[in-house]
Structure 1
Amino acid sequence: MQGFMFRSVIRGFRTSCGLDSRIKRRHTHKPFWQIKKSNQVPNEPLTFENKAWIAGLSPLKEEFAPWERQNWERSSIRSGIIAQKIGLAPLWTKSGVRIMSTLLQVKDNHVVRYIPAEEYASTHVGEKIKAPKGITDTPRGLNPVLVVGADSRDPSTFTKGYCGLFNGSGVSPKRILSRFIVSPNAILKPGTPLYASHFQVGAYVDVRGTGIRRGFQGVMKRWGFHGMPSDNRGATKTHRRPGSIGSGCQKSRVWPGQKLPGLMGGNKMIMPALQILRINHKEGVLYVTGQGIPGNTGDFVQVFDTRHPVKSLKESPKFFPTCITDDLDYLPDEEYADHIHRFDDDSIVFQ
């Protein structure tokens, strides 16, 4: 009787919390708490002069003044940025080795909201997130959270509820929103702009994105199955089928995690420890190593300091917690890593 009651309580808990009892769970549906984003564009009789006047307004309601900077520590966690994947480009080292790099453009990034650790702890649902070493004054082991937005759009294309998310920051509505967990000494004031200069050349970053969606695929393409025999052995209509998945009294069911046909791709993936080879500060473009960053060209990804134990930051970055507008005056248009050949330098010199 007690076992039956326990199973009933667990079943009710799963139903109320919306948790899946299976091993694998695809997050292809939108969460229940997400606010409706898109809105039908109204037919407003705006003239070209009115549109030009609205576009010329500053997104900030008042004169912006950033919060006071704090000192960097070994356990500090900075905020990340949202970048758009715009293509691939080759780079060469000074010894002549060719390296393929992915171009990530930082477009109109602003801090939308700052969530203190106390508020985040009261709303956090899921596994407890451990705080890094040296940070013990946060409740439940949680750190503050920064909500970052990118790619400003016309407010009339969004719903009223979605536009209300940006009232406190004073910035125009963003099309893309992401959340970054930071340490207490790396918090930023809402409305703070984020640039590609947030990082420095030679540093390593982690890139998180959504893989390309392949749709509903069979087991041969999805899992790499060999397939059934060909026609010359007498097999018919079973060439790309999975075959038997087991039977008998010990199994007699489909086990959770069984490799079967289904939706392929569209999963969240992280490419760890990618080195920044070149930064174009004028256009806000990062050149990172590799060409396997998840997503199609034009998709948005999250870029943040790597968590790799060997390649993470060992000393304070050039700008902490981020690069402000006044710091841009002292930066060149482009920066290269020490081992990367600059295109404006001589490649061969005859004496």
Structure 2
Amino acid sequence: MSKNMGLLGRKMGMTRIFTETGVAVPVTVIEAGPCVVLQKKTNAKEGYSAIQVGFGSRKESRLNKAEAGHCKAAGKGGFYHVKEFRVADLEAYEVGQEINITDLLSIGDLVDVRARSKGRGFQGVVRRYGFKGGRATHGSNFHRAPGSIGCSAWPSRVIKGKKMPGQMGDKFITKKNCTVIDIRPEQNVIVLKGGVPGAKQGVVQIYKNA
């Protein structure tokens, strides 16, 4: 995973825009930032250089004492989401500082977007891995089963990593090299070409490519 500086955002949904030649381009709209610096982590104390940022304002009445105490130094209230980003120049950031889209990104930049994919529950091999399955007619009793999953004589067990039914989705996925199509700083909105992982209103991590 990239250790570049990034932002936290919220996936608003997908739409399309038209180029000057009339070509429709699918895009994802993300509310990115502002993120507030809550803590600076140094090589001397923590063993690495990073900043901790908060995103999504949260009422102080909804914070426990530990959370309220941690956010007190920033003076910007509480936050629903907290994330660390590795940084090379720690002196460029101060506790309480707001980081906006324009501080990090420009139109035409390439970014990596990391988010938790939609959960699909427990699924079989046909939906989970795209298995063909058996025929549906002529008395067939083999439809959506995986078929043979191992040998009886040797190794007499199911090989580790065999594609089997199980939990589908609900895991972190990184979409790399997404192009920044548009930036609207007055709305804290960034428009990326193509789709990104996750459901609407899901939290995403945006990393700028080096």
Q: Which residue of 2 aligns with 1:158?
A: 63
Q: Does 1:92 align with 2:18?
A: yes
TM-superposed CA distance for 1:107, in Å, is: 4.2
Residue 216 of structure 1 is aligned with which of 105, 122, 130?
122
TM-score (ref. length: structure 2)? 0.89
TM-superposed CA distance for 1:252, in Å, is: 1.0
Go from structure 1 to structure 2 and tell me whether the alpha carbon gap of 1:226 and 1:173 turns closer, same or farther (over 3 Å shift): same
The one-letter code matched in structure 1 to 2:149 is: I
Gaps of at least 5 residues in structure 1 are 1-76, 122-142, 307-311, 313-351
8 Å Cα contact 1:149/1:175 also seen in 2? yes
Q: Which has the higher contact order (CA 8 A, sep 6+)?
A: 2
Q: How does 1:302-321 map to 2 (within 5 A)?
A: 302-306=205-209, 312=210
Gaps of at least 5 residues in structure 2 are none
8 Å Cα contact 1:144/1:183 also seen in 2? yes
Q: Which residue of 1 aligns with 2:43?
A: 117
Q: How does 1:98-247 map to 2 (within 5 A)?
A: 98-121=24-47, 143-184=48-89, 187-198=92-103, 199-232=105-138, 234-236=139-141, 238-247=142-151
The one-letter code matched in structure 2 to 1:244 is: S
Q: Which residue of 2 aligns with 1:258?
A: 162
Give the number of equivalent residue pairs: 207
The Cα RMSD (Å) is: 1.9
8 Å Cα contact 1:144/1:187 also seen in 2? no
Counting aligned pairs with the same residue, the percent is 29
* Structure whose CA Rg is larger: 1
Go from structure 1 to structure 2 and tell me whether the alpha carbon gap of 1:144 and 1:170 turns closer, same or farther (over 3 Å shift): same
Go from structure 1 to structure 2 and tell me whether the alpha carbon gap of 1:249 and 1:117 turns closer, same or farther (over 3 Å shift): farther
Q: 2:174, 2:92 → 1: CA distance?
A: 24
Go from structure 1 to structure 2 and tell me whether the alpha carbon gap of 1:252 and 1:119 turns closer, same or farther (over 3 Å shift): farther
Residue 153 of structure 2 is aligned with which of 237, 244, 249?
249
TM-superposed CA distance for 1:79, in Å, is: 2.3
Q: Which residue of 1 aligns with 2:5?
A: 79
Deviations 1:26-69 (A, max 9, x none): xxxxxxxxxxxxxxxxxxxxxxxxxxxxxxxxxxxxxxxxxxxx
The one-letter code matched in structure 2 to 1:183 is: A
TM-score (ref. length: structure 1)? 0.55
TM-superposed CA distance for 1:188, in Å, is: 1.3
TM-superposed CA distance for 1:168, in Å, is: 3.0
Q: 1:225, 1:163 → 2: CA distance?
A: 50
TM-superposed CA distance for 1:172, in Å, is: 1.1
Q: Which has the higher helix share?
A: 1
Residue 272 of structure 1 is aligned with which of 171, 176, 194?
176
8 Å Cα contact 2:12/2:200 also seen in 1? yes
8 Å Cα contact 2:112/2:177 also seen in 1? yes
Go from structure 1 to structure 2 and tell me whether the alpha carbon gap of 1:107 and 1:305 turns closer, same or farther (over 3 Å shift): closer
Q: Which has the higher strand share?
A: 2
The one-letter code matched in structure 1 to 2:6 is: G
8 Å Cα contact 1:78/1:186 also seen in 2? no
Go from structure 1 to structure 2 and tell me whether the alpha carbon gap of 1:184 and 1:219 turns closer, same or farther (over 3 Å shift): same
| SS of equivalent to 1:161 | helix
| SS of equivalent to 1:175 | strand
Q: 1:88, 1:270 → 2: CA distance?
A: 17
Q: 1:185, 1:194 → 2: CA distance?
A: 14
Go from structure 1 to structure 2 and tell me whether the alpha carbon gap of 1:245 and 1:90 turns closer, same or farther (over 3 Å shift): same
8 Å Cα contact 1:228/1:243 also seen in 2? no
Q: 2:158, 2:69 → 1: CA distance?
A: 47
Residue 301 of structure 1 is aligned with which of 198, 204, 207?
204
TM-superposed CA distance for 1:163, in Å, is: 2.5
The one-letter code matched in structure 2 to 1:240 is: R
Q: 2:147, 2:197 → 1: CA distance?
A: 32
8 Å Cα contact 1:205/1:274 also seen in 2? yes
TM-superposed CA distance for 1:187, in Å, is: 4.5
TM-superposed CA distance for 1:94, in Å, is: 2.8
TM-superposed CA distance for 1:301, in Å, is: 0.4
The one-letter code matched in structure 2 to 1:297 is: K
